[in-house]
Structure 1
Amino acid sequence: MTTPQYELVNPPTDAISAIQFAPTSLRLLVASWDKHVYLYDTSRNAQIDKFEHRAPVLDVCWGANDEEAYTGGLDWDVRRINLKTGAQTVLSSHTNGVKSVLYSREQNILISASWDSTLHIHHVLTPDKPFVTISLPNKPFSLSLTPTKLVVAMASRALHIYSLSDLASDSAAQGIEPWQRRESSLKFMTRAVACMPNDAGYASSSIEGRVAVEWFDPSSTSQARKYAFKCHRQTSPEGIDVVYPVNALAFHPVHGTFASGGGDGFVALWDGIAKRRIRQYQRYQASVSALGFSSDGKFLAVAISPGFEDGKEGVGEDGTVAVFVRELAEGEAKGKGAK
């Protein structure tokens, strides 16, 4: 018996940069290089709405509920979208493209990261309060958060871990230092970072077909547990090992296992504790550009976009752009040692 999977209707017309399920429903937000954010109801495979921007949208996230979203992109603006009315509000403007936006429900702050090497911290419940700018030593490539921490993966293999309570505090305006500064375990450029749901650590991936798993605890015992492994590599007919970038990572919210998506068109599920691959799904017809689990962990959304395997984030007219929703069978994403 094959696992049920279906393709969403009315997909974007250009490369997909981000996807995210709603906190309490099966609604799905999709950000695209076609200058739109799309809202789908995956439970009935329907496009509810789409919201136009002035330039390609690089990231999207949900806010405090299923009626608001935040976006960032190549227009340099950080925006709030009222999904009921369609109204858009600019919260701040960077001086270069906005690569990532993340909302912390625990601290009620929105964090944006820009290629201008800054973070903006927005106190969304008090809109009159000015946003705070935090300088980064390098260009940010990917963000991820837990209830207590923010991980910022940057160029030059730099990585900062911040305390979210520090970022949300009134003293943030005077400058906040990272809780930890680290160098990536991966030797090549970071493509994605994703935090464990249990607040214990994170996984990161590179353009050179590798994933690293690390823990926050700075003790030598915990740091000795960190490791990296090869993945998303295919052998060519000539017997050559072809290496693909690992574009996307997503942790399962219940089991703590994680999915990786690569330029080879494959999605794999991993048990980071047992250091084993649980399964690999059939090959998609284009590079996997984004992944996202539903909040209950029963569904996995997979976005495919040609060009991501070469680091090109825009596609031509003949490219296949699609979002697939896969329903996971009972225990399908459980770790090898899970009961």
Structure 2
Amino acid sequence: MEEPIDLGTFLDLWAKGDPARGDIAVTVVRLSDACCRIGNLVALGSIAGALGSETGRQSGFDRQKEIDVRANDLIVASLKDAPVASLASEELEWALPINPGAPLAVAVDPIDGSSNIDANVSIGTIFTILPARANGVDTSSFQQQGHAQLAAGFVVYGPFTSLVLTLGEGTHIFTLQRASGQFLLTKRSVQIPVATREYAINASNYRFWGESVRTYIDDCLRGRDGPRGKDFNMRWTASPVADIYRLLTGGGIFLYPGDMRENYAHGRLRLVYEAAPFAWIIEQAGGAASSGQERILDLVPTSLHQRTPFIAGSRTEVDYVVRLHRDPHGLGERSPLFGRRGLFRT
């Protein structure tokens, strides 16, 4: 069996002496180093202190946790000598200048799913690398379509630590070898199955969803007796990194739609440093990602912390949900028995 290559070697082979690619490679390595340190911190649990305690500050809709702050500090420190002009983070209101004039910009969610830290549920870090604009002194670097991304990835801190990475040439998974502190390539060119029998959504919000999302979930719940003709499983961890990792390795669809709750009309995921990198990773693995109306990678952010509805995963399921958004009553393949105004709905 061939020995797996480490992340540094993988990136060197990809860069092939190209200075622009070399800058991206260096930045990915620095981020992976920060994630190793974050993983070590997470692994300590309560030994590292009250990581789940609130700092008293808000981060978007969420109360900021101690682990959020400490992870953010580790990332900032790791990028000080990297070719990065500025950093955008869920934990920072504005973009932070790092090395103005450098060619790259980085956006991160330092800890995705931090509400799970005390429950010992998998959490993670999400990042994206973009070309810097205006010397990195304003937020314009982060107001580019997802197509502009140069690298994107996320790390899951679970029973083992995994790094999922795309450089625009497929999606690859690396696993941390703790003894050496290196990420080793363990799955090359991951492909999401086209069809699935599994979905991930927070079902407690059912009454707040729009008709298209309720219709989709109703159809899944009816299983083989409904219009889909097959049974589905539901998964939900409240850590998007864990749910997205699951669908990358086994197929599935992840939904965090907008809903009728106050401040949730545009969903919960941040476009710049959550939805866009997830979308690129998923598309590079053969999947699809949409807001329900538009392809995620086509969206142009208008603000640093903009939110978007997010539906991603196996292509056939995402396409099905998108068609429901565009015309909830018009799916030709739906049985009249289960139609919107069929025998079971009026």
Same-fold call, TM cutoff 0.5: no
User: Which structure dedicates a bigger proportion of its chain to strand?
Assistant: 1
Q: Determine which structure has more spread, i.e. the larger CA radius of gyration.
A: 2
User: Which structure dedicates a bigger proportion of its chain to helix?
Assistant: 2
**What is the TM-score normalised by the length of structure 1?**
0.29
